[in-house]
Amino acid sequence: MNKINELFDNARGRKLLSLYFCAGCPTADGTADTLRAMQRHGIDIVEVGIPFSDPMADGPVIQDAATKALRGGMTLARLFAQLKAVKDEITMPLVLMGYLNPIMQYGIERFCQSCVESGVAGAIIPDLPFRDYMETVKPVADRHDVRIIMLITPETSEERIRSIDEHTDGFIYMVSSAATTGAQKLFDGEKLEYFRRVGAMGLRNPRMVGFGISNRQTLESSQANAAGAIIGSKFVALLNESRNADEALDRLAEALAGD
């Protein structure tokens, strides 16, 4: 069974926590150490960012991380090699998050095969059109048992949400707002209504809320309305400041426990 499906099947109501970091930042060879630290700290799912020169869905923190990673020589091939080296150590589901351009240059077939060889269970491609997913990417990903995770936003129609739910597997990434990534202090009533509206649809796939989660209020709001939460910018900022994954994780835990 795919590790993503296995995790959700075994969660039994426990709220999950997923973290994102950009491969190659703060150091080009730090991927393995960051993953080991996350596993020690009990993180449920890890999104490993593929650095790209034009990350349109990301805010300044992740854009800066991607720039540093590219300058340090991080490539998709190098990332796969790093992940393959720790495949037998890391038991958490790993999901690659990256944009379509470098993945298409690498090749969809080769990309999915490399995911299998390096222990990657899924991928998030924010700029992948749903039609292209259905016609080009899904057949290849299904053959390799790689889950392609699709995003929805407050502007996504019910028809599109139900189509995504029908034709994907793993989980649905519920973007908290139609904006770029970045920490927020709270989720307003409009966002909470969006969470409730999607929750009432009775979707087949579990949902994870991402974008803007940085403190106890946003974490609890996300977990109350979905299977769990995804934290990106807050952890990336802490990791860049400390340059030590264990320290960054400790500081994140403090921030999420505070008022």
Predicted confidence at residue 180, as pLDDT, reads: 47
Each residue's pLDDT tens digit, 118-163: 999 999 999 999 999 999 999 999 999 999 999 999 999 999 999 9
Q: Contact 135/109 with Cβ under 8 angstroms? A: no
pLDDT at 177 over 80: no
Predicted confidence at residue 54, as pLDDT, reads: 76
Is the torsion defined by CA of 200, 193, 172, 11 positive or negative? Answer: negative
Using pLDDT thresholds of 50, 70 and 90, give the confidence band for residue 166.
Answer: very high
**Mean pLDDT to the nearest integer, 19-48:** 97
Taking the chain, what is the end-to-end CA distance rounded to the nearest angstrom? 39
Please tell me the pTM assigned to this model: 0.93
Share of the chain above pLDDT 70, in %: 95
pLDDT at 259 over 70: no
Q: Is 165 known to be catalytic?
A: no
Residue 94: strand pairing partners? 46
Pairing of strands 45-49, 172-175: unpaired
Please tell me the distance from the alpha carbon of residue 160 to that of residue 157, in angstroms, as a whole number: 5
Residues in contact with 195: Cβ distance below 8 Å, sequence separation at least 6, in sequence order = 174, 187, 209, 221, 222, 225, 226
User: Burial level of 193, CB count in 10 A (0-12/13-18/19+)?
Assistant: exposed
**Mean pLDDT to the nearest integer, 178-183:** 49
Using pLDDT thresholds of 50, 70 and 90, give the confidence band for residue 26.
Answer: very high
Q: Is 58 known to be catalytic?
A: yes
Choosing from 44, 47, 165, 169, the catalytic residue is 47
Each residue's pLDDT tens digit, 202-247: 999 999 999 989 899 999 999 999 999 999 999 999 999 999 999 9
Q: What is the mean pLDDT of the chain?
A: 93
Residue 227: strand pairing partners? none
Residues in contact with 42: Cβ distance below 8 Å, sequence separation at least 6, in sequence order = none
Phi-psi region of 93 (alpha: psi -120 to 50; beta: other; left: phi over 0): beta
Residues in contact with 138: Cβ distance below 8 Å, sequence separation at least 6, in sequence order = 148, 167
The H-or-E segment that residue 143 falls in is helix 138-143
Q: Contact 186/213 with Cβ under 8 angstroms? A: no
Choosing from 6, 33, 44, 58, the catalytic residue is 58
Amino acid residing at 66: A
Neighbours of 135 (CB within 10 A): 10
Amino acid residing at 120: V
203, two tokens? 């979707």
The number of angstroms, rounded, from the C-alpha of 5 to the middle of its chain's C-alpha atoms is 15
The number of angstroms, rounded, from the C-alpha of 10 to the middle of its chain's C-alpha atoms is 19
Each residue's pLDDT tens digit, 107-122: 999 999 999 999 999 9
Predicted confidence at residue 181, as pLDDT, reads: 46
pLDDT at 55 over 80: no
Predicted confidence at residue 183, as pLDDT, reads: 46
